[in-house]
Amino acid sequence: MPYVEVTISVAAPARDVYELAKQQERFPEFMPDVESVTVLERRPDAIVTRWKTLVEEAPIEWTEEDRFDDERTRIEYELIEGDLDTFEGVWSFEDAGDGTTRVVLGIEYDFGVPTLAELIGPTLERKVRENGEMMLDGLKREAETAATIVAE
């Protein structure tokens, strides 16, 4: 199954970046390709959300469950239903020791059409990677803006 991993360094404490990532309904505010994230269920250790995003102007929708590991500042997510056959992975938030956070987003995906994967597999991988990078860039901007406001 295809897997993509993207990483970014964020100039903010790991706990703060992790807590921001748990507020997924806010993602459309600072992630350009995310049209909406609707919370369907919220528990102390998990959230179920309905996502609408754009990939190359094409809408993709799905419902996922995210499980929060507050002790390890880690979020595991898994597709419940939607336009993909498989969409799961992990967000991890690691203190880099210098006031920054290393955020890693792992994405395992399958569009469920083997011939499509054979024909345009590299293009799909590039699009999944670009989408993951867009999400991390948005999270970085939002977290660093919040950290700057707190520092002032």
Instruction: Please check the confidence at residue 84 and state whether its pLDDT lies above 70.
Output: yes
Helix (H) or strand (E) holding 122: helix 114-151
Instruction: Please check the confidence at residue 49 and state whether its pLDDT lies above 80.
Output: yes
Percent of the chain scoring above 70 in pLDDT = 90
What mean pLDDT do residues 25-51 have? 95
* Stronger pLDDT, 84 or 72, i.e. the higher one: 72
d(CA 97, CA 13): 9
Instruction: Please check the confidence at residue 96 and state whether its pLDDT lies above 80.
Output: yes
d(CA 2, CA 125): 8
CA 61 to chain centroid: 14
List pLDDT tens digits, range 12-28. 999 999 999 999 999 99
* Residues ≥6 apart with Cβ < 8 Å to 87: 62, 64, 77, 78, 79, 107, 108, 109, 110
Instruction: Please check the confidence at residue 122 and state whether its pLDDT lies above 60.
Output: yes
Range(s) of the domain holding residue 61 = 3-151
Predicted pLDDT of residue 117: 59
Instruction: Please check the confidence at residue 54 and state whether its pLDDT lies above 70.
Output: yes
Predicted pLDDT of residue 114: 66
How many domains does the chain fold into? Answer: 1
Report the CATH number at residue 73: 3.30.530.20
Write down the mean pLDDT value for the chain: 90
Residue 28 phi/psi, 5-degree rounding, is: -60, -20
